[in-house]
Structure 1
Amino acid sequence: MYPKILERCGHGGPALEDLRKVWATLGRIALPDAVKRDTLSRYARPDQALDVILDAAQAKGFRIDQLINEKLIEQDLRWSEESSREIIGLTDAGYPHLLREIASPPTVLYCDGRISLLHERSVAIVGSRKPTHAGVKIAATMAGDIARAGTVVVSGLAHGIDSAAHRGALVADGWTIAVFATGLDSIYPKRNRDLGSQIKEKGLVISEFPTGVGVRRHHFPQRNRIISGLSMGTVVVEATARSGSLITAGFAADQGREVFAVPGSVYSPPSNGPHQLIRDGACLVESGAQVLEGLGWLNPEKKKNNAPSEQPEWCREILRAVDFTPTALDQIAERCGLTIGEVSAILIRMECEQLVSACHGGYVRAG
């Protein structure tokens, strides 16, 4: 049979290299995760559990080579040789305790980057792959505020809100974790290759899938439970009624974590998901500070310092005329009773002050 790691390592338990091979094998073995978790829960050491799993499979008529591909295991071990990479198992001390608490935690996590971030307090920010301009702005700003408070921002590296959240955290010189739905040797979607590389360098990327595993539709819901499982709270910025982000929010609720939702226009389909969550009891939030406050992580002094400053007199009237969704220049001028030329001159200054942002279709309020 497959060489028993228990016999090779002696009664003191496996050495680090052997332990890594145990987890690499458990990550590749062609059996349901539920079987692996159940067996691991009944034995003190993962090498013992692996031997029991393999013995039971042989007793049922399986050949070891049907369950284990040695070449793929060696591939994973070679991948993990870099100092920033690790293969962490469910019963390891380094496994994130919040994730271990969920109903179906991954047996194995493949990690690349600052692995210590798995043990920092964290908040997930998720949302639509086709967000509005305002949604992107909100996600990035919220992530930046949360990251500056020393909290890790977790998301799924998808195009849209996920990417905006990761970028917002990075721009704020904060920490972010990206949970992949593929192996860590590939970045999906390809357009986020540079962003994924930045996160590996300055944050952490993780996956429950070993190297070489590509894009499969059913992997995305599996990934979503990890995003929420790593986090004390999940924020949904924009999502249609059938968005995968609502699956993530559902996982968060089932896991006993906080669910937050950012409201939007009733005329905007990406607002349907957050509005549904709010009707179902999610906490309505409009800023990163409100998320931190909802989790009890915002002290009174910090809350005071983060209070929005009063807008200067010269721009208040125009600011009231600009919506959080694209507002046309002529519409702004009409609301203010000014000429387009007068409004344009003031809007340029407001852009410099980061009070508004130019976008396709006009201008939007920056916050």
Structure 2
Amino acid sequence: MDREELGGWLRLTLSPGVGNGAARRLLSTFGLPQAIFQQPEATLLQCVTPVQARALLELPPTWSDLLETTWKWLADANPAGPGRTVVTLGDARFPQALLDTEDPPLMLYVMGPTRWLEQQRLFPRERCLAIVGSRNPTAQGAENARLFARALHSAGLTVVSGLALGVDAAAHEGALDAAVPDAPVAATIAVVGTGLDRVYPRKNLDLAHRIVANGLLVSEYPLGTPPLPANFPKRNRIISGLSQGTLVVEAALASGSLITARMAAEQGREVFAIPGSIHAPQSRGCHALIRQGAKLVESAQDVLEELRLPSAPGLTATTAPSDAEDLTTAPDEPDDPLLEALGFDPMSVDALVARTGMDAASLQVALLELELEGRVARLPGGLFQRMGSA
């Protein structure tokens, strides 16, 4: 893409009051953005309102600076580091999966390994699965997200999520744990709600660097866009739209993850949900989805069987296990009376004292030992939860 064409696309996205729907009508009628801006107002009125037509004929005040910033961002990519590109609605690399949705973005800013940015099929939907969930998951929920993502990428899927704290971050990390050199598919795709020249939340800065080495960072928002609250629910349509299905690990009833799941269903994608404790607020969203028809899954194999995916080209037995792990069942282990008493629901020390008959001091010592062994997690509010294992 040359500078003039990039300028045309940026001007179209910046024109006030001209949304994606109006922009698509204009593109369908006149072709590339440069042709749109060559039309007289009377011709533009065939596609848009008078207010929109007048907006299109005026240069947006921030256009010149954004063009310069974006052109420099593309040109300044370190040859030894991740590549940078802009993929527009008219680009052959634009994901077909998003073209099939109701509201595809006009532009996608993308960072990742150059070998993937140069591929014609940059986002193969049939090999993408979204994993989303609570920003404040239980310890078991975060572990489930990590282990499911690891198993699913090992089986040849790219894990798509939103780089948020909690389940999103755990899913990206799990997929990256399974990444291998020269893999045929990206380990993970992070669809973010800011410009790609900033990372939000900052706590995930190191994770973002890992992602662009083995996956893709994607945004529809221009460089310099701050973390505006309205942008995050909007970007969820891209997370679900890129993917063949969406797996919700944990979600409260008011969670943004349920927005992603609803969008996935509206886009004709599969929706999966992991059940949890009836006492955990983070499980209620998943239980609601299951009641509404989402597929209940207990293992990564459940997801793979439902999707009926062919083997990924280039994967071998060392990278694609023949049988994905059951991630919710603990392995056989010697009975521990305290673990038996704890069960799998979060529980307070007082409740464990009543259930086991142990004194509080001895119980705290035993819980600490189990916590150090990774068999019990300490939760906010003085609660403890038994951990499942892959």
Please classify the TM superposition score into its range, dividing by the shorter chain length. Answer: 0.7 to 0.9
**Residue equivalent to 2:111:** 112
**Residue equivalent to 1:144:** 150
User: SS where residue 154 of structure 1 aligns?
Assistant: strand
Distance 1:172 1:99 in 2: 26
1:187 and 2:187 correspond = no
Q: Which has the higher helix share?
A: 1
Change (3 A) 1:41 1:324: farther
Asked whether the equivalents of residues 184 and 207 of structure 1 are also in contact (C-alpha less than 8 Å), the reply is yes
Distance 1:51 1:318 in 2: 75
Asked whether the equivalents of residues 289 and 298 of structure 1 are also in contact (C-alpha less than 8 Å), the reply is no
Percent identity between matched residues is 38
Deviation at 1:329, TM superposition (A): 8.2
Change (3 A) 1:337 1:149: farther
Asked whether the equivalents of residues 155 and 324 of structure 2 are also in contact (C-alpha less than 8 Å), the reply is no
Distance 1:282 1:243 in 2: 16
1:234 and 2:246 correspond = yes
Distance 2:19 2:61 in 1: 11
1:73 and 2:70 correspond = no
Distance 2:252 2:294 in 1: 16
* Equivalent residue in structure 2 for 1:166, among 153, 172, 177: 172
Distance 2:274 2:265 in 1: 16
**Residue equivalent to 2:343:** 323
Whichever residue aligns with residue 214 of structure 1, its letter is P
Deviation at 1:90, TM superposition (A): 0.9
Asked whether the equivalents of residues 164 and 201 of structure 2 are also in contact (C-alpha less than 8 Å), the reply is yes
* Equivalent residue in structure 1 for 2:44, among 56, 59, 62: 56
Change (3 A) 1:109 1:147: same
* Equivalent residue in structure 1 for 2:266, among 247, 254, 259: 254
Asked whether the equivalents of residues 46 and 91 of structure 1 are also in contact (C-alpha less than 8 Å), the reply is no
- TM-score, normalisation: structure 1: 0.82
- TM-score, normalisation: structure 2: 0.77
1:277 and 2:289 correspond = yes
Asked whether the equivalents of residues 196 and 223 of structure 2 are also in contact (C-alpha less than 8 Å), the reply is yes
**Residue equivalent to 2:162:** 156
Change (3 A) 1:195 1:305: closer
Q: How big is the alpha-carbon RMSD for the aligned residues of Structure 1 and Structure 2?
A: 3.5
Of stretches 122-131 and 168-177 in structure 1, the one that deviates more from structure 2 is: 168-177
Distance 2:364 2:101 in 1: 53
Distance 1:20 1:53 in 2: 21
Provide the aligned length of Structure 1 versus Structure 2. Answer: 350
Whichever residue aligns with residue 203 of structure 1, its letter is G
1:98 and 2:110 correspond = no
User: SS where residue 123 of structure 2 aligns?
Assistant: helix
Change (3 A) 1:56 1:142: same
1:26 and 2:45 correspond = no
Asked whether the equivalents of residues 371 and 377 of structure 2 are also in contact (C-alpha less than 8 Å), the reply is no
1:366 and 2:366 correspond = no
Deviation at 1:29, TM superposition (A): 3.4
Change (3 A) 1:105 1:305: closer
Change (3 A) 1:312 1:219: closer
Whichever residue aligns with residue 133 of structure 1, its letter is A
